[in-house]
Structure 1
Amino acid sequence: MNIIEFLQNLMSQVPFFVQPLIVAVAAAIPFLEAELASVLGVWAGLNPFVSAGAAMAGNFASVFVVVVFGARIRALIVARRAQRAELVAVGASASGGANSSGYLAEPKPESKGVRRFKKFLVRFGVPGASILGPLAIPTQFTSALLVSTGVSKSWVLLWQGIAIFLWTTMTTLIATGVLALITG
């Protein structure tokens, strides 16, 4: 038995209305994503439009959650750093320019990875990072990185949605073509 027959037999045991939900849940998993989930859905016998739509919805839902919570976490961290900087500045002015340890407060330097990602972001922008990102890392990770650097939630969601649509459409078309070649 080949993989396509196995997937079709497996999917036939599930009610029709649950099949797209399985594809959507699979698409929400990082590294599996909408691209592979739609391929599995097509090969399992789902209509390519249903498979692609369910995969896009599942992947975008997980990206949405990452972006919303990532933005909230970033806002809390930025507010906490600002509060600490204010406390250090008050302490430094009270002690003649030095903090409690006797040294001037200096900002923490950025890591090499953050500097590299920001350079990539400046070079290609959010659209390039979103569209090319799936070649290297899952969309959920790309979204988290973009939000953590201060890119607005709506901009990240727009370009991640476009990237998910483009990649899922491409892989679904390829999967449909391959299935047509294999099954004749």
Structure 2
Amino acid sequence: MLEALSDFTAGLPAWAQWLGIMLISAIPFVESYFGAVIGILVGLHPAVAIVAAIIGNAISMFAFVFAADVARKKVVEGRETAKEPSPRRERLKRMFDRFGVPGVSLLGQTLLPSQITSGAMVSFGASRNAVLLWQCISIVVWGVAFGLLALGGAELLSLR
């Protein structure tokens, strides 16, 4: 899949490759970290690749948070009944109870995409604004970290 996304981005005109990185970074499990890597490997300037990946991931995450917020309000108002949580959701809830919004935001991306963890935290009752803030911090941290790793690796292997 990452090869296909890389081919998609590389196939775009040079002036539009940053838009391709934004698009692919909005995909759960690709996010800012793989988006930044792909952008760097296709030849975008590292700063452009990392910023485009962060923006694409953040836009997608915002959509998930606002959707989860609306769904939670409907559930709280009694319009819907809650389903039995999945084992993954239960694990995320335990992590949320233990580490709070900052911990789940920063560490949660090792388990699930930011879109899913952010939506889940809002559905657990976390403040929408706190989730947005900490998820943005997490997206930036992961995007910059993986972008710098990709840059170092590409230069080490002379791929750039």
TM-score (structure 2 length as normaliser): 0.86
Unaligned runs of 5+ in 1: 85-107
Aligned equivalent of 2:48, options 47, 50, 56: 50
Tell me how far 1:16 sits from its aligned partner. Answer: 2.8
Tell me how far 1:41 sits from its aligned partner. Answer: 0.4
The residue aligned with 2:78 is 80
Deviations 1:7-43 (A, max 9, x none): 58x72x5323311110000000011111001101000
CA distance in 2, matches of 1:40, 1:74: 35
The structure-2 alpha-carbon separation of the partners of 1:54 and 1:148, relative to structure 1 and needing over 3 Å to count, comes to: same
CA distance in 2, matches of 1:65, 1:77: 18
Q: What are the residue-to-residue correspondences of 1:88-107 with 2, within 5 Å? A: none
Aligned equivalent of 2:66, options 45, 48, 68: 68
CA distance in 1, matches of 2:24, 2:137: 19
Q: Percent identity?
A: 37
Tell me how far 1:175 sits from its aligned partner. Answer: 0.3
Aligned length: 153
The residue aligned with 2:30 is 32
2:68–2:122 Cα contact (<8 Å) kept: yes
TM-score (structure 1 length as normaliser): 0.75
Tell me how far 1:115 sits from its aligned partner. Answer: 5.1
Q: What are the residue-to-residue correspondences of 1:3-22 with 2, within 5 Å? A: 11=10, 13-22=11-20
The structure-2 alpha-carbon separation of the partners of 1:75 and 1:180, relative to structure 1 and needing over 3 Å to count, comes to: same
The residue aligned with 1:165 is 140
Aligned equivalent of 2:96, options 94, 117, 121: 121
Tell me how far 1:127 sits from its aligned partner. Answer: 0.5
